[in-house]
């Protein structure tokens, strides 16, 4: 039997768009054509392949089966302009930007956690925020087992979440610092090299003192887990790491969940790897997970400050599982569940 192949568009060719091409090839996605769309026409070399980039116009979506919009953290605009137009032209949109995540008619999906949300889709699917994905890869299966009442998240987010300019800025600041030169800050409001910035995103007037990134974690968690009552408090911090986000999670459950039971649940969860041996200095770190597919979980212990509490430490590659890989996985699951052809026949 010949496997059906699909025409896949990638909208945007920055850090996430580039990774989308790599992930499609690495996972052997059944691709007939990869069509790259961006603001300007040009040629781009990605992982040894040369792609002719076409301008993003409504007509250039014609003939595609999927369009993967490659926004970075907080990215807006492209899917607002072209997303629903692409759907009208028969294309399934998977959007990594944050424009439509909380739209009630748009599924917000982590394939390992809530693939059933794809059933009955209307042609437009949202990829969650990178920090939400990395947290919920651990929190999702534990919530199923013991029910989460609340959690406190402190994130340690790499500069790649902001895009190529931030990666280049950190690298230049490190070089300038070592050379004894002044460090210029352009992408961020302050120097990021050898520093941490407790602000990711803009201030939210409806939640004084919180940033947009912190509010996303609360709202997206509730939607993905289908649990409006979960209480979430997040502090999102930018750190001088190139790739991979890490997070400290303090969780209160509805019932007692021992560290041993949590380790057993997580060890059986696809896409999760337990690395948890404090005596041997074994725990998740950005250098371990960068460039990889799994979210690592460790430092699993009781939180004695609250009844039925646990503390976890998680790390995952924000450009891969936190963005490109999750988007491609959504497309894979849609094919597996027969949701592509059935939608096109409507």
- Residues noted as catalytic: 130, 245
- Dist CA 74 CA 16 (whole Å): 13
Q: What is the pLDDT of residue 204?
A: 84
Q: Give the model confidence (pLDDT) of 176-222 as tens digits.
A: 999 999 999 999 999 999 999 999 999 988 888 999 999 999 999 99
Helix (H) or strand (E) holding 66: strand 66-69
| Token pair for 277 | 């041996």
What rounded mean pLDDT belongs to the chain? 95
User: In the structure, what pLDDT confidence band is assigned to residue 346 with cuts at 50, 70 and 90?
Assistant: low
Whole-number Cα distances in Å, 335 to 264, 309, 329:
30, 39, 10
Distances (CA, A) of 309 to 205, 226, 340: 31, 21, 41
pLDDT for residue 171: 98
All CATH 3.40.50.720 domain ranges of the chain, comma separated, are 6-127+323-344
pTM more than 0.85: yes
Share of the chain above pLDDT 90, in %: 89
pLDDT (0 to 100) of residue 2 = 63
- Assigned CATH class of 132-318: alpha beta
For the domain covering 6-127+323-344, report its CATH number: 3.40.50.720
pLDDT at 74 over 80: no
Instruction: State residue 207's pLDDT score.
Output: 86
Query: Could you tell me the strand order of the sheet in which 66-69 lies?
Result: 42-46, 49-55, 31-38, 6-11, 66-69, 92-95, 124-126
Name the residue with higher pLDDT: 46 or 34.
34
Q: Tell me the DSSP string of 233-255.
A: EEEEEE-S-SS-EEEEEEEEESS
| pLDDT in the model for residue 36 | 95
Q: Is 135 exposed, middle or buried (0-12, 13-18, 19+ CB in 10 A)?
A: buried
State how far the Cα of 192 lies from the Cα of 314, in Å rounded to an integer: 22
1 pLDDT tier (thresholds 50, 70, 90): low
Distance of CA 155 to the CA centre of its chain: 13
Residue 266: helix, strand or coil by DSSP? Answer: helix
pLDDT of residue 47: 80
Q: Name the segment(s) of the chain with CATH classification 3.30.360.10.
A: 132-318
Q: How many whole angstroms separate alpha carbon 10 and alpha carbon 16?
A: 10
What span, in angstroms and rounded, lies between the C-alpha atoms of 260 and 274?
A: 12
Nearest to 294 by CA among 341, 249, 239, 244: 244
């Amino acid at each position: 039997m010949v496997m059906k192949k699909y025409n896949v568009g990638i909208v945007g060719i920055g850090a996430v768009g580039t990774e989308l091409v790599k992930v499609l090839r690495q996972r052997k996605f059944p691709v007939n054509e990869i069509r790259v769309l961006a603001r300007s026409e040009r040629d781009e070399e990605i992982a040894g392949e040369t792609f002719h980039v076409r301008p993003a116009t409504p007509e250039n979506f014609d003939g595609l089966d999927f369009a993967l919009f490659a926004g970075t953290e907080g990215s807006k605009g492209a899917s607002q302009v072209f997303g629903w137009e692409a759907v009208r032209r028969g294309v399934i949109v998977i959007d990594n930007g944050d424009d439509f995540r909380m739209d009630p008619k748009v599924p917000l999906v982590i394939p390992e956690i809530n693939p059933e949300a794809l059933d009955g889709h209307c042609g437009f699917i949202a990829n969650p925020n990178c920090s939400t994905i990395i947290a919920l890869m651990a929190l999702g299966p534990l919530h199923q087992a013991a029910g989460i009442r609340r959690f406190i998240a402190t994130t340690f987010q790499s500069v790649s979440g902001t895009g190529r300019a931030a990666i280049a800025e950190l690298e230049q600041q490190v070089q300038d610092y070592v050379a004894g030169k002044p460090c210029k800050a352009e992408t961020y409001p302050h120097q990021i090299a050898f520093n941490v910035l407790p602000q990711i995103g803009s201030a939210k007037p409806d939640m004084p003192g919180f940033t947009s990134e912190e509010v996303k974690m609360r709202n997206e968690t509730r939607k993905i887990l289908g649990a409006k009552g979960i209480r979430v408090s997040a502090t999102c911090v930018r750190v001088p790491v190139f790739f991979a986000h890490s997070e400290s999670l303090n969780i209160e459950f509805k019932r007692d969940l021992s560290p041993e039971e949590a380790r057993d649940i997580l060890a059986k969860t696809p896409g999760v790897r337990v690395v948890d041996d404090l005596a041997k200095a074994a725990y998740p770190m950005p250098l371990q997970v960068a460039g990889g597919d799994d979210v690592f979980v460790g430092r699993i212990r009781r939180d004695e400050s609250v009844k039925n509490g646990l503390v976890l430490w998680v790390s995952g590659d924000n450009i891969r599982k936190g963005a490109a890989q999750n988007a491609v996985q959504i497309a894979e699951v849609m094919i597996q569940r027969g949701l592509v052809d059935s939608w096109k026949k409507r």
